[in-house]
Amino acid sequence: MFEKRRFRTTRMGVLILQMWCVWQALALDPQSSSYLRTDFTVEQGLPDDEVNAIAQTPNGFLWVGTDGGLARFDGGHFTQIRLRPGISKEIPVNFLLTAVDGALWVGTDSGLFYIQAAAVDHFDRSLVTMYHPGAGPSDRISCLLIRKGILWVGTGHGLYRLDRGHFVTVIPDEPISTMDQTADGHLLIIAEHGFVEWDGARTLRYPEYPRQLGVKSDGIFQVHEDRNGVRWFCTSSGVARLVNGSFQKLAPFGHLASDATYRIYEDPQGNLWTNKASGLFRVSDKAAEGLALGVHARYMYADMNGDLWVATGSEGLVRFKDRIFKMYTPADGLPASNIPMAVLAAHDGTLWVGSNCGGLSRFDGKRFKTYSEKDGLQNSCVWSLAEDANHDLWIGTWGGGALPFSKRPLHPIFDSARAAQRSGAEPGGGAGRIALDCDKQWLKPHAE
């Protein structure tokens, strides 16, 4: 008596083939055919279409900072969060940062807000603390960063460190636009007079970098060190990276306005994304590859699902999501009949597809290789597939019996007449659906 749980067999259709794509990594594929774009604007509940910042808290909520204030997204709806009581117009939110304990730091045009973790699930204004680094431009927050448990605050009039509830000036009287952190804790800062590195004790300036890059002193917009220790420079002429003391400029790199690159973002999978004047690009060590031309990104952020969110200056919020389904056709190597009858994921992850009189196809992750009679297959009407304990593939055909597909020459194990006698099917039919006993090495055909 056979037990279904002991068999590795399948008889499925096109849907399983398409669903196989879900098993791949969650990193966003930049190919234009592999993502779905969704736009969110004031019509969907955003406070404003000028979006400046994005962050996600551990509970899964996505927080969005706009010129019209702060909003929280639960996956279906936006809820505006009012930080100041009794004031009808909210202040612009410029930067968001999630703390290790799940709390949220909110940098605005008029100070810094701290939303305790307890108020992230159910917002409670009594659990919000407000800080003021200084007066005037010093109260306009441009960027935030946590270094060794200490909050660093970039403002319109200097760089500050929040130490035991008090702000300590690190770089005075100089607007700070961006900050990044290296693996050894150095800060990579873009200030009014160019790129500055803070090594923990002092600031280091590199006046030779603009000349080497062929840009003006204020032509470097961001410096980021990736997980491999390579430093990337966003400049008015494009993207460059510093390798062994020399700059490598990525094409296109020039003096056209469309070449300018303002920000770079590294997602959890290690992909690097940039916002050029001409749109959104993914960067490799050789060139920048376009993802969405015409999308003018201010900020980029990858959520827990691997979706890429893009904040724009006037078009709201854009989400790029991997497609769950992808259609494969004869152009990908499938047989011309393209009617899959069975799909099997083998022990090594190989995907096998049997087609209705189209043969047997093997997927290598990119394309299909199809085997037919000319390759030794005695019957190309493949209706079922199974894998035995030796990891050999067995093929149930319509009208040709059951066949092994392994390193050994192909030959029929039993013909359709014997299969019909054992299963009760009509002679001249086929193996139909087969089950393989992994211990006794026998097959049981099932009538269709």
Residue-wise DSSP of 385-418:
EEE-TT--EEEEESSS-EEEESSSPP--SB-HHH
Domain that holds residue 404: 4-16+326-446
Whether residue 173 lies inside any domain: the answer is: yes
**How confident is the model at residue 323, as a pLDDT?**
62
Domain total in the chain: 2
Q: What is the distance between the alpha carbons of residues 183 and 206, in angstroms, rounded to a whole number?
A: 20
Q: Among the three residues 322, 346, 362, which one is the final residue of a domain in this structure?
A: 322
Does residue 263 or residue 33 have the better pLDDT? 263
Buried b (16+ CB within 10 A) or exposed e, 361-384: bbbeeeebebbbeeeebebbbbbb
Q: Which amino acid is at 205?
A: R
119/160 same-domain check = yes
114/223 same-domain check = yes
Instruction: Let me know: does 312 contact 300? Beta carbons within 8 Å.
Output: no
Whether residue 174 lies inside any domain: the answer is: yes
Whether residue 34 lies inside any domain: the answer is: yes
Whether residue 21 lies inside any domain: the answer is: no
69 - beta bridge partners? 66
Instruction: Let me know: does 402 contact 413? Beta carbons within 8 Å.
Output: yes
Q: pLDDT band at residue 308, thresholds of 50, 70 and 90? A: very high
**How confident is the model at residue 118, as a pLDDT?**
94
Backbone angles phi, psi at 44, to 5 degrees: -95, 0
Question: Per-residue pLDDT for 17 more than 50?
Answer: no
**How confident is the model at residue 170, as a pLDDT?**
94
247/330 same-domain check = no
- Total residues found in the chain within this entry: 448
Question: Per-residue pLDDT for 212 more than 70?
Answer: yes
Q: pLDDT band at residue 420, thresholds of 50, 70 and 90? A: very low
**For 239-261, what is the mean pLDDT?**
88
pLDDT tens for each residue of 320-358: 987 655 677 888 888 887 678 888 887 777 888 888 888
**How confident is the model at residue 307, as a pLDDT?**
93
The tokens for 339 are 């009617």
Whether residue 414 lies inside any domain: the answer is: yes
308/334 same-domain check = no
Q: Among the three residues 322, 351, 384, which one is the final residue of a domain in this structure?
A: 322
Question: Per-residue pLDDT for 96 more than 90?
Answer: yes
Round the average pLDDT of the chain to a whole number and report it. Answer: 81
Q: Among the three residues 270, 295, 322, which one is the final residue of a domain in this structure?
A: 322
188/60 same-domain check = yes
pLDDT tens for each residue of 253-266: 887 777 899 999 99
Percentage of residues in the chain with pLDDT exceeding 70?
80
152 - beta bridge partners? 145, 161
* Residue 142, domain CATH: 2.130.10.10
Starting at the edge strand that comes first in sequence, how are the strands of the sheet with 203-205 ordered? 176-181, 187-191, 194-198, 203-205
Whether residue 22 lies inside any domain: the answer is: no
169/284 same-domain check = yes
266/387 same-domain check = no
250/367 same-domain check = no
72 - beta bridge partners? 63, 79
Other C-beta atoms lying within 10 Å of the C-beta of residue 419: 28
Question: Per-residue pLDDT for 128 more than 50?
Answer: yes
361/433 same-domain check = yes
112/217 same-domain check = yes
208/339 same-domain check = no
**For 115-143, what is the mean pLDDT?**
92
Whether residue 58 lies inside any domain: the answer is: yes
**How confident is the model at residue 27, as a pLDDT?**
43
Q: If DSSP codes are grouped into helix, strand and coil, which group holds residue 383? A: strand
Question: Per-residue pLDDT for 252 more than 90?
Answer: no
Question: Per-residue pLDDT for 184 more than 60?
Answer: yes
Whether residue 23 lies inside any domain: the answer is: no
Does residue 378 or residue 129 have the better pLDDT? 129
160/301 same-domain check = yes
